Structure 1
Amino acid sequence: MPLRVLGVDPGTLRTGWGVIERRGHTSTLCAAGVITAKGFHSLPERLRMIHAGLVEVITQWQPQVLSLEKAFLSYNVQSALRLGEARGVALLAASQAGLRIAEYNPTEIKTAVASYGRADKVQIQKAVFTHLGLSHGQQTTSLAASKDATDALAAALCHLNSSRFVEHIRLATAKEGRKTGQDAERMQLLRSAFQKRSMPRSVPTRGVPTRSVPTVLKVKG
């Protein structure tokens, strides 16, 4: 079953978003963009625009999961508060639509996408395009010009890569469990057969006291 993930890079002026679908081992870009507001808009108006934009994206693309960065501490308290408000709006839109929520810290996202926890935005962007199989020509589009959208796509890819890993472990564990169970069942059957056929039986002999003669079970190797 395909898994569709909405990645979001929240901000009160620019909120990047991107939807990626995973079928098997293939990740496909569905759409990506940026919800923008102007500095002269009041904060409540900006938050309303973010909410409305994300609701529209969710309605159109029907993702099952929202993936975004975890909240983090910042020396700039005002910026941290504004970012938290934008995150809250994104979480609200996703919750209203019944999406599952996945949150990752920045290092997790960078490592999952670029294999380096301190990758910069240019490295992240190149890694995202590589994961999605986008050609050099496609990289010159507005998507390539938007770091906000590619950061959102990186969050989505992080969840998809994590989901694939968890699914791989689950399937491997289930397969090993079935194999272990089958082996145990076969061993139990062999043990029961051996015990049954190895029980002593009486062999009457005229004039000679009866003695127990064990039956030897030959098991082919």
Structure 2
Amino acid sequence: MILIGLDPGLATTGWGIIAADGNRLSHVANGQISTSASTPLPERLVTLNTALTDILLEHRPGGAAVEEVFINSNPQSTLKLGQARGVLLLTVAAQGIAIGEYAARLVKKAVVGTGAAEKAQVHAMVMRLLPGIKIAGPDAADALAVAITHAHHIASQRRVPGR
């Protein structure tokens, strides 16, 4: 199954696509969607929608996962992150793709083994789990970690009797 992971951000949204075959994972593609702070908010949201739609149409994932919004000390930043995340959820859902949502701590725990892992540790484990890949940046590494978490979650659900 092809899965896409998304690390939402208004300035930079990371995306990562993997193929999951049971416990075997392989890298398909990754990148970042960037918008300029000097561009009006509605145009930035359209850029996220258009770029993600193109990625979805090119790779045709069968599932998606998005990192949940964390609350930070700046309410305006949290609001903008929520708006970007909403556009991503809408764009994926409009393609008829089922979406899993994961807290950042859960993603870190699934990939590194501890929910308090640093970004560098997440990046290193993604490189280890998907050897030989070139990661487009830290947001893409986080998105790949979200996709890996989703793949593990799906595999665990299949192993539980009655599901």
Q: What's the Cα RMSD here?
A: 1.4
**Conserved? CA contact 2:66–2:102, under 8 Å:** yes
Matched residue SS, 1:163: helix
Give the aligned residue type for 1:103.
E
C-alpha contact 2:4 2:17 (8 A) present in aligned 1: yes
1:164 to 2:122 alignment: no
Whole-Å separation in 1 of the counterparts to 2:84 and 2:100: 16
The correspondence of residues 59-70 of structure 1 with structure 2, limited to 5 A, is 59-70=57-68
Deviations 1:187-219 (A, max 9, x none): xxxxxxxxxxxxxxxxxxxxxxxxxxxxxxxxx
Secondary structure in structure 1 of the residue aligned to 2:3:
strand
Aligned runs of 1:1-221 on 2, under 5 Å? Answer: 3-132=1-130, 134-135=131-132, 138=133, 141=134, 143=135, 146-170=137-161
SS state at 2:157 partner: helix
What is the SS of the residue equivalent to 1:74?
Answer: coil
CA distance in 1, matches of 2:66, 2:90: 13
Partner Cα separation in structure 2 for residue 107 and residue 123 of structure 1: 13
Bigger mean CA offset, 72-81 vs 7-16: 72-81
Cα distance in 1, alignment partners of residues 65 and 6 from structure 2: 6
Are the equivalent residues in 1 in contact too, given 2:9–2:84 (CA < 8 A)?
A: yes
* Gaps in structure 1 of 5+ consecutive residues: 175-221
Give how far 1:150 is off: 0.4
Q: Aligned partners of 2:118 and 2:100: how far apart in 1?
A: 22
Q: In structure 2, what residue type is equivalent to 1:104?
A: Y
Secondary structure of 1:98's match? coil
> Which structure is richer in relative contact order (CA contacts within 8 A, separation 6 or more)?
2
Cα distance, 1:26 vs structure 2: 1.0
Corresponding letter in the other structure for 2:17: V
State the Cα deviation string for residues 24-70 of structure 1 (Å, max 9, x = none): 32101110000111222111111111000100010011112220112
Q: Larger Cα Rg: Structure 1 or Structure 2?
A: 1
Shift of 1:146: 0.4
Identity over aligned pairs, percent: 34
How many residues align structurally?
163
8 A Cα contact 2:6 2:65, kept in partner: yes
Give deviations 1:108-142, integer Å, cap 9, x for gaps: 1001011111111100001111111x13xx4xx4x
Give the aligned residue type for 1:76.
N
| Contact 2:71–2:78 (Cα < 8 Å) also in 1 | yes
Measured after TM superposition, the shift of residue 74 of structure 1 is 2.5
User: What corresponds to 1:194 in structure 2?
Assistant: none
Q: Give TM-score, length-normalised by structure 1.
A: 0.70
SS of 1:68's partner is strand
> Hey, which bits of structure 1, 4+ residues long, moved more than 2 A?
71-75
Q: CA offsets per residue over residues 74-123 of structure 1, 9 Å max, x none?
A: 32101100000000010011111001010011111001011111111100
Aligned residues of 2:5 and 2:64 also touching (Cα < 8 A): yes
